Structure 1
Amino acid sequence: MAEQTVQPPSGDGLVQMAYLHPHHVSHSWHESVMRLVMHDQLHDGRIIGTGGPFMISTASGALVESRNQVMTRWLEETPHEWLWFIDTDMGFAPDTVDRLLQAADPVERPVVGGLCFAARETHFDGMGGRRIMAVPTLYNPAHDPDGNVGFATRWHYPDNTLVQVAGTGAACLLIHRSAAEKIRAEYGDTWFDRVRYSDGRLVSEDLSFCWRLGLQHIPLYVHTGVKTTHHKQMWLSEADYLPPPVPEGDGRA
């Protein structure tokens, strides 16, 4: 592998914020960022803004290249100790980064994510749409009936707890510099390049990053107390409607 130019680690405790955008962001993300920046200015001042190369425009299908570009620029153009990926369709609390940092550790817990949910289409609704369910992005290692290794959704998890996982998404993910450098030393600047299961299926770019973490024995955690929202379009119908309970004594049968 060609020799890399790498900034020496500073141990400065600072967090480089980074996000990818298709030239627009969710309103909930925008408000969350404003509140987070205000919180940071009033407290520890550890978050480095996203000016310059860390807010990267990305077209559909360019997630791999864009996430890799963020990682390369972080390592080569800054000395900052941590990188925080936050997707532009997420909502989050003002103290999100503080809480992730409190849970993280450069050696024991170098990669920590918040609790995020994906939207999974389950089946045709008979009206031109699809039924949708929320799926937590916590994954355990798993084997299919043929013995192939992969990821399985962890449906149940303790609340407000730091949970070690085999995989999670990159929608709200704090990464220590040492973890990024260890993967770079082994694989080059391919942190998010998609790997394949043994049966040939492609793995998503964020789970491919987690796959490499696992191969390098780098621990990965999700803090289930660091809540987020995920702005998605969906179809609503009576199947989603749960009326509130009728108060006792209102005279209705």
Structure 2
Amino acid sequence: MTAPAEAPSEVGPAPMDGSVCLAYVHGHEVAYSWHLSVVGLLGYDLASQQRVLRGGYLGMRYGTGGIVDARNATVEEFLRGEGEWLFWTDTDMGFAPDTLDRLLDAADPVERPIVGALCFSQQEYALDGMGGHRTRPRPTLFRWVEVGDGCQGFTAWLDYPREQLVEVAATGSACILIHRDVLGKVAEQYGPNWYGRMANPTTGQVLSEDLSFCARAVACGYPIFVDTRVKTTHLKQVWLGAEDACPADGSEVTG
């Protein structure tokens, strides 16, 4: 992958003060669960360490350039500031007020500079015969495995270790804490293109922007972790049918 030649200009210092910049990219609407979660997080932060109060926030609207350009622009702006950590959340997530503090407890600027929460994406695995799809949740913990014929790739870690901090090959960006040193090093190596989609060299498949970031970070020598004790919710659309109904024995309690 050919990267831009220049790293971000006017990169600010990297104070070890624990300050956190809350970052998100958005369209015209956000989920109420995310709104309420952010309000709770800010209240918790104000009453404890004031990490976000000191680090500020970056809300970047994505336009014609899409999410990739919005994420890259957010990181570039973050590196011009003085925050130590960047905390990404997607605007359709839900999380507890102490989520940031719990991720910081698990993180370390050197040993564990990237720590994500336990998140799930939605996988459409079959047509339902009525214009929709059957869906199921998929954890966003990924391993790098052999997929046959000399090819390798990311695969979801379905039987991920429960209730512990675990190293992964990659994770999503829906709820993740990243130290600024990681972002600075990736910029030195690849230019200001942290989230540009790159191809898997063994299969030719184009990776998502979050897996592309993880691939760059790992190539720069940074490990990635997910704390499966730190849980979230992810608002998604599903097609409900008879297969999802309560048992015929009437075991559901209503009223």
Match of 1:5 in 2: 10
Equivalent runs, 1:34-73 vs 2, <5 Å: 34-48=39-53, 54-59=58-63, 62-73=66-77
Match of 1:20 in 2: 25
The one-letter code sitting in structure 1 at the alignment partner of 2:245 is: Y
1:80 paired to 2:83: yes
How far apart in 2 are the matches of 1:96 and 1:244?
A: 39
Deviation of the 1:192 alpha carbon: 0.6
How far apart in 2 are the matches of 1:129 and 1:204?
A: 23
1:32 paired to 2:37: yes
Q: Against the structure 1 CA distance between its residues 244 and 161, is the aligned structure 2 distance closer, same or farther, given a 3 Å change threshold? A: farther
**Alignment deviations for residues 147-185 of structure 1 (CA, whole Å, 9 cap, x no partner):** 222101100122221010001000001000111111111
Q: Secondary structure at the match of 1:212?
A: helix
1:216 paired to 2:220: yes
Equivalent runs, 1:193-212 vs 2, <5 Å: 193-198=196-201, 199-212=203-216
2:22–2:87: 8 Å Cα contact kept in structure 1? Answer: yes
1:109–1:220: 8 Å Cα contact kept in structure 2? Answer: yes
Match of 2:229 in 1: 225
Equivalent runs, 1:104-183 vs 2, <5 Å: 104-183=107-186
What TM-score does the superposition give when structure 2 sets the normalisation length? Answer: 0.91
How far apart in 2 are the matches of 1:49 and 1:30?
A: 20
How far apart in 1 are the matches of 2:56 and 2:184?
A: 23
**Alignment deviations for residues 75-114 of structure 1 (CA, whole Å, 9 cap, x no partner):** 01x1110000000000000000000000000000000000
Q: Identity of paired residues, percent? A: 45
Structure 1: 4+ residue segments shifted above 4 A: 49-52, 244-247
2:25–2:60: 8 Å Cα contact kept in structure 1? Answer: yes
Deviation of the 1:237 alpha carbon: 1.1
1:238 paired to 2:238: no
How far apart in 1 are the matches of 2:70 and 2:249?
A: 48
2:21–2:83: 8 Å Cα contact kept in structure 1? Answer: yes
Q: CA RMSD in A?
A: 1.9
How far apart in 2 are the matches of 1:173 and 1:73?
A: 18
Q: Secondary structure at the match of 1:164?
A: strand
Q: Against the structure 1 CA distance between its residues 61 and 8, is the aligned structure 2 distance closer, same or farther, given a 3 Å change threshold? A: closer
Deviation of the 1:42 alpha carbon: 1.2
The one-letter code sitting in structure 1 at the alignment partner of 2:217 is: L
Q: Against the structure 1 CA distance between its residues 92 and 47, is the aligned structure 2 distance closer, same or farther, given a 3 Å change threshold? A: same
How far apart in 2 are the matches of 1:59 and 1:2?
A: 23
**Alignment deviations for residues 14-34 of structure 1 (CA, whole Å, 9 cap, x no partner):** 000010110110010011111
Deviation of the 1:39 alpha carbon: 1.0
2:122–2:136: 8 Å Cα contact kept in structure 1? Answer: yes
Q: Against the structure 1 CA distance between its residues 20 and 46, is the aligned structure 2 distance closer, same or farther, given a 3 Å change threshold? A: same
Deviation of the 1:242 alpha carbon: 4.0
1:17–1:49: 8 Å Cα contact kept in structure 2? Answer: no
How far apart in 2 are the matches of 1:140 and 1:61?
A: 29
Gapped regions of structure 1 (runs ≥ 5): 248-253
What TM-score does the superposition give when structure 1 sets the normalisation length? Answer: 0.92
Q: Against the structure 1 CA distance between its residues 28 and 245, is the aligned structure 2 distance closer, same or farther, given a 3 Å change threshold? A: farther
Gapped regions of structure 2 (runs ≥ 5): none
